[in-house]
Structure 1
Amino acid sequence: MSETAPVITVDVEPSFREDESSPNDKRFVFSYTVTVHNRSDHSVQLLSRYWKITQGHGKVQEVRGNGVVGKQPTITAGHSFRYTSRAVIECPVGVMQGSYTCIDLSSQASFDVAIAPFRLAGPNQVH
């Protein structure tokens, strides 16, 4: 990890997908739109992702993979990359958090970017 890693921030907007969910089948679908902001003077490439999904009843799922939505995007200095993906869980509430592994294209140093926990909640959930 480089001590001078570029400043990358991540915003996430989750949304319950009622039209794709089936509570009777314990299927709750959430989409989430992620915006990765490169607030540095260097271009970076997002290489891989890690997600930890904790469902309301305690079940934990971990997801690892290359890139996001089939891409390993390069994000130039001062720009952002936005994508939408989804998660399917067995109960109406959960929490996702994770990290991206990126590389600074000028120094070739890799670094991790933390993704703060965000809530997945269906309608009328106060959990």
Structure 2
Amino acid sequence: MSNIQVLVRTNYVEAQSIPLEHRYVYTYTITIANKSDVPAQLISRHWRITDANEKLQEVQGMGVVGEQPHLKPGESYTYTSGVILETETGIMEGTYHMRTDEGAMFDAPIPTFALVPPHAVH
């Protein structure tokens, strides 16, 4: 359908992580850019979060960080959220369910990205 680009930056939050308690905190900043010629609104999200033990968490809900941004062609929207894992590393992927101003529904894929603390990067 429409060309929605999703860019992701991740950050390991060492100050909030407690490895001895299997608590690893990450933030992720996402920029959603409307590269099409049709306005579209983000309606809901669906995340698949997998830790290093292959434990899957699925998160679904309306909007992102309490908003349902409406993007005109060429516009972008950036937000930051977070996740807590039981293992030091993991991956996330998902989709944003979008609606054009004409009412057409479509999914914008969120590419798979890694959650890895700086000391674990080779």
The equivalent residue for 2:108 is: 113
Q: Is 1:24 matched up with 2:23?
A: no
Secondary structure at the counterpart of residue 99 of structure 1: strand
Aligned to 2:61, which of 53, 57, 65?
65
Query: In the comparison of the two structures, how many residue pairs are matched?
Result: 122
Secondary structure at the counterpart of residue 120 of structure 2: coil
Percent of aligned positions that are identical: 42
Q: Is 1:99 matched up with 2:107?
A: no
Partners of 1:126 and 1:102 lie apart in 2 by 34
1:47-66 alignment, distance < 5 Å: 47-66=43-62
Runs of at least 4 residues off by over 4 Å: none
Q: Which structure 1 segments of 5+ residues have no match?
A: none
Partners of 1:122 and 1:55 lie apart in 2 by 13
The equivalent residue for 2:33 is: 37
Q: Structure 1 residue 126: deviation in Å?
A: 4.8
Secondary structure at the counterpart of residue 124 of structure 1: helix
